[in-house]
Structure formats: structure tokens, C-alpha cells
């Protein structure tokens, strides 16, 4: 049985920290699931760290569904959250509902995430009413990166701080089961966390949130285009991969790979018959 939204909500009540990581493929998802991470986000960050786009904006429903299915196949326990891409929930509520349902029916996800607060609350309410758990996402919302004029800390002025609190409350009221707070001052994130009953999952929002989320490529050090300030590298996979690939290249060229260990043989008699 996979983790449920009531278990996630209980973690906040018990003061247990919630860990969430992104994953985009079967192999990685298997490892993350086996490590006991309760929430796996198939983030639209895949546009940048997997597909090489400059932002998350070009990501399509088809790309998200393709990767969501792979992650679902690789996991048994974690709740899989599918990230709704740009313009798949903005036009109207029917559209939002239909696309959320695709993550459920075609992707096999157990929840969806979408960006926005007060402005998307009506869509969140409708999706939740239809039985699909929704995770909110406020603060630095990468799908609005051009409107926000870049990857900047959000909520630093009295008006924007007040707006973020209102956004969080609107999402809670609409039925979101958790809310991502991205790149928000730590004190504000802690205040929002105290003022709402649903768990907050921070990324660049300090230790006062109920949980933390990171892009897996950032914590593993495999994505090297840039390292966000909020990320800590627990490994340097890019270096490990480069060293392994270089070693492989050398051994192929020198004839040291493959050896008998990686090869098979047939009877000498059969060979001599062919000669
Ligand atoms: O797409 C993503 O990976 C995200 C997380 C950074 C929260 O939205």
C-alpha cells in the first residue's frame, strides 16, 4: 500500500519531518522508493534536468505522462505526485480537471501539483472534489519565471509576504493536502507553516517547514549547468560518471575490456568445423 494523504497530514501533526524528492525514470525511482522517501514528485523540472530545455515552460502533458508512468512502475510505497505543466490548468476549470485526471488515469500518479495560490484556488477545489489529491506550490513558481523577472526570493516586502500567506490559506481552504513553498524567507515560511494545518514542503525556504523537497539531480551532483543556492550536493555523480566513462573508453581502446569474464565461448570443435 502506498503512502496516503492522511499519513502525510499526520506527519505534520506528530512533528515528523516529511521528505520529498523528484524522480523522472524507473531506475532512480526504484532507488528512492527503496530508501523510504514517502513522496516522489515527477517535477516539470525534468524539462531542464532531463530534457535540456532552458526552463520548465516547454514541458508538455505527453512528456510528463511518459515519465510519470516510468516512476510509477519503479515504485511500491511512495506517493507519486505528477506536476501539471504550464498552461494545462490555467485556461479554465474543465481543462484543469481533465488534465489532472490524465495524471491519474494514464500516468498512474496518486496526486498532482500545480503552481499558484488564490488565482488557482477554484481549480484546486474542483480537482479535489473529483477525488484527486492536490499539492499546491507558491513562492518562486518557475512557470511564471518571466513574470517574476528571474529566480528571485519571493515574499520580501510586506505586500508580497501578506500575499503569500493569503495564497497558502486559499490553497488550504480549497483542499490542498500539502503546499510547496519555494525560495521564500525562512521566517515567513515558518510563520505560514504555523498558520495553516496542511504540511508545508520547503525548497529554499528554511528548516521551519514541515518537510523538504529537492531536485534529485541537484543533491546527487549530476546536473552541472548550475547549482541552486538551496541545494546541497550529497554526492558528485557527474565526476563519478565522467571518471567511469573515461576509464571505459581507455579500456576499450587498450583491449582491456571486455575480458573473458564479460564474454562467453563455444566448443573448439564447433569452431574448427567452421574454419
Ligand atoms: O518541478 C519541480 O521539480 C518542482 C520542485 C522544485 C518543487 O516543482
pLDDT > 90: what percent of the chain?
97
Mean pLDDT (whole number) for 165-187: 98
Give the angle 209-212-218 at the CA atoms, nearest 5°: 145
Segment 113-132 mean pLDDT: 98
Which of 43, 44, 201 for mutating ligand 1's site (highest number of atoms within 8 Å of CB)? 43
115 as an active site residue: the answer is no
Which of 141-150, 180-189, 223-232 is modeled with the greatest confidence? 180-189
pLDDT in tens, 210-265: 999 999 999 999 999 988 999 999 999 999 999 999 999 999 999 999 999 999 99
Ligand 1 centroid distance, CA of 246 (Å): 32
Residue 20 CA: which ligand 1 atom is closest?
Answer: 7
Among 92, 177, 89, which Cα is nearest to 128's? Answer: 177
Q: What was the pLDDT predicted at 11? A: 98
This prediction's pTM:
0.96
- What confidence score (pLDDT) does residue 34 get? 98
List pLDDT tens digits, range 92-101. 999 999 999 9
Q: For all residues of the chain together, what is the average pLDDT?
A: 97
Domains of the chain in start order, with CATH, are 5-239 (3.20.20.60)
- pLDDT value for 275: 85
CA-nearest of 7, 14, 130 to 78 is 7
Ligand 1 atom closest to residue 182's alpha carbon, by position in its atom list: 7
| Annotated active-site residue in 54, 182, 247, 268 | 182
Where do runs of H (alpha helix) occur along 103-231? 121-129, 158-174, 186-195, 216-220
- Counting from 1 in the atom list of ligand 1, the atom nearest the Cα of 56 is 1
Residues with CB under 6 A from ligand 1: 22, 41, 43-45, 83, 137, 180, 182, 203, 213, 215
Amino acid at each position: 500500500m502506498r503512502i496516503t494523504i492522511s499519513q502525510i497530514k499526520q506527519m505534520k501533526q506528530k512533528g515528523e519531518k516529511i521528505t520529498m524528492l523528484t524522480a523522472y525514470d524507473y531506475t532512480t525511482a526504484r532507488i528512492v522508493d527503496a530508501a523510504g522517501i514517502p513522496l516522489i514528485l515527477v517535477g516539470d523540472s525534468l524539462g531542464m534536468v532531463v530534457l535540456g530545455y532552458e526552463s520548465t515552460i516547454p514541458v508538455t502533458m505527453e512528456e510528463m505522462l511518459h515519465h510519470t508512468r516510468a516512476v510509477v512502475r519503479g515504485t511500491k510505497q511512495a506517493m507519486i505526485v505528477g506536476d501539471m505543466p504550464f498552461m494545462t490548468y490555467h485556461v479554465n476549470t474543465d481543462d484543469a480537471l481533465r488534465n489532472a485526471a490524465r495524471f491519474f488515469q494514464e500516468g498512474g500518479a496518486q496526486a498532482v501539483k500545480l503552481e499558484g495560490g488564490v488565482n488557482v484556488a477554484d481549480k484546486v477545489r474542483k480537482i479535489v472534489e473529483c477525488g484527486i489529491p492536490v499539492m499546491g506550490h507558491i513562492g518562486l513558481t518557475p512557470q511564471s519565471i518571466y513574470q517574476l523577472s528571474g529566480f528571485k526570493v519571493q515574499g520580501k516586502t510586506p505586500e508580497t509576504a501578506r500575499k503569500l500567506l493569503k495564497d497558502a490559506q486559499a490553497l488550504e481552504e480549497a483542499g490542498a493536502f500539502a503546499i510547496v513553498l519555494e525560495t521564500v524567507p525562512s521566517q515567513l515560511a515558518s510563520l505560514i507553516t504555523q498558520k495553516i494545518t496542511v504540511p508545508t514542503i520547503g525548497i529554499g525556504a528554511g528548516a521551519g517547514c514541515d518537510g523538504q523537497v529537492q531536485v534529485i539531480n541537484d543533491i546527487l551532483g549530476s546536473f552541472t549547468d548550475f547549482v541552486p543556492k538551496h541545494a546541497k550536493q550529497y554526492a558528485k555523480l557527474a565526476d563519478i560518471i565522467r571518471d567511469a566513462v573515461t576509464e571505459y573508453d581507455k579500456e576499450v581502446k587498450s583491449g582491456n575490456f571486455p575480458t573473458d569474464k564479460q564474454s562467453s565461448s563455444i566448443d573448439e570443435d564447433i569452431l574448427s568445423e567452421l574454419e
